[in-house]
Amino acid sequence: MTTKRTLSIKQRGLTNFEAVMWIFTRLSALAIYGLILVGLIGALIMGARNQMNFADVMRWAFMPNVTHVQSTDLQDLNPWASPFWKLTASALLLVAVAHGVHGLVVIADDYIAGAGARKFIRFLSIVMMISMSGIGLYLIWTS
């Protein structure tokens, strides 16, 4: 049993859509870690001299959008609204929405067994993925 579950990914192969999404979930998790780290380091560089509390820094790191630092004591918000941060925020949004919506399908599959219902869940997940990505991008680029 232990030999079977410790097969390397190469030996198992990425044979179908579910397997591809399985590896995507893990790689996107690492990507989210990387993007949060970029936001954290960026905040420390840009806000080192200013007053920003723990919650403010965390809110920024999880989504580096300028609206997330508007209620702080920062003097100059321009660097926080630069295209670099809008691109970083967009990347984090798209990766997190894809990871999260696929995760919701995984959860739904554990409780919903009918083939028709599962097809409907998949349809719903695509609608949700597109609308959440669209609304998120709109909010990031108009803020």
Partner 1 sequence: MGLKRGVSLSAGLRYKGPSGYLTYILHRIGGLGMAIFITVHLLASFIGGRTGGFFNGIYENWAFQIFIFFCVLFHAINGLRITILDLWPKLLDYQKEAIWLEWAVFIPLFGISVFVIMNSALGG
| Residue closer to ligand HEM (CB basis): 79 or 103 | 103
Q: How far apart are CA 1 and CA 99, in angstroms?
A: 30
- Cα 82 to Cα 44, 91, 126: the distances in Å are 16, 14, 31
Q: Which does 112 bind (CB under 5 to 8 A by kind): ligand HEM, partner 1, none?
A: partner 1
H-helix segments, 48-80? 54-62
Q: In angstroms, what is the minimal distance from the CB of 31 to ligand HEM?
A: 9
| Residue closer to partner 1 (CB basis): 7 or 87 | 7
Instruction: By CB under 8 A, name the binding residues for partner 1.
Output: 2, 5-9, 16, 18, 26, 29-30, 32-33, 53-55, 62, 67, 96, 100-101, 103-104, 107, 109-113, 115, 118-119, 128, 132, 135-136, 138-139
Identify whether the C-beta of residue 39 lies closer than 8 Å to the C-beta of residue 58: no
Q: In angstroms, what is the minimal distance from the CB of 65 to ligand HEM?
A: 15
Spatial CB neighbours of 94, under 8 Å, sequence gap ≥ 6 = 133
Identify whether the C-beta of residue 72 lies closer than 8 Å to the C-beta of residue 51: yes
Instruction: By CB under 6 A, name the binding residues for ligand HEM.
Output: 25-26, 29, 32-33, 96, 99-100, 103-104, 106-107
| Residue closer to partner 1 (CB basis): 2 or 78 | 2
Based on DSSP, count helices (H) and strands (E) in the chain, helices before strands.
Answer: 6, 0
